Amino acid sequence: MAAEIPRATDPVTFAGGVLDRYRHVCAFVNGQAEADAVLDPFLRDGVDAGDRLLYLVDTATPGAPLRRLRRLGFDTGALLEERRCEVRTWAETYLRSGDFDQADMLDQLDAMLGASARPRIRLLADMGWAVDRDGVADDLIEFEARANFLHARHQHVVICAYDTSRFDGAFIIDILRTHPMVLIGGLLQENPFFVPPEEFVQERSARG
């Protein structure tokens, strides 16, 4: 009997938890080793399930995700040829215009995720591009909140990885409020501090 093909609506396992109702995750990690420990199984499961991997990564190290997949035992050439893996750099996405433009990035995200329901996409966004970038915090926080409007329209999974050793505490608290699911201390949980995007955007608008 042939193995059952997972449906795009099937829940996804991540870091010991299940992504079902919500699939927009803020992954707080402390260093690369901790990130690899939780992300490698998630990516391996994605390849095995026939999902498509989409990386948004450091412009200086675009080959890192492919090297990682190769170390996990996957044929990266085949994955690329079959369009089951794609790598886009910060310069091609978040910083396409030189500075962060949240409206442009929301359009890009919609194009990346909204074209087709299948195969399901597992998008892993390394948010390190925002480290030490002056004036970006408010726009990034609002972007993450508004992105929830897009994520509600599809069944793809989006993991935003923030290295807590590189961001300050105030920023981390604000960014936490924009994600319905959070990975913290290596454990996935539904985020009790999440603010629905309509409420969050209205709150920020009221601040002036």
Strand-pair category, 187-190 with 181-184: antiparallel
> Which residues on adjacent β-strands are paired with residue 138?
none
| Residue 141: strand, helix, or coil | helix
Domain parsing of the chain, residue ranges: 31-207
* pLDDT by residue, tens only, the chain of 208 residues: 344 444 556 789 999 899 998 999 999 999 888 999 999 999 999 999 999 999 999 999 999 999 999 999 999 999 999 999 999 999 999 999 999 999 999 999 999 998 777 899 999 999 999 998 999 999 999 999 999 999 999 999 999 999 999 999 999 999 999 999 999 988 999 999 999 999 998 888 787 6
> Which residue's entry shows tokens 């948010």?
127
At a CB cut-off of 8 Å and minimum separation 6, what does 128 contact?
58, 163, 166
CATH topology (fold) of 31-207 = Rossmann fold (3.40.50)
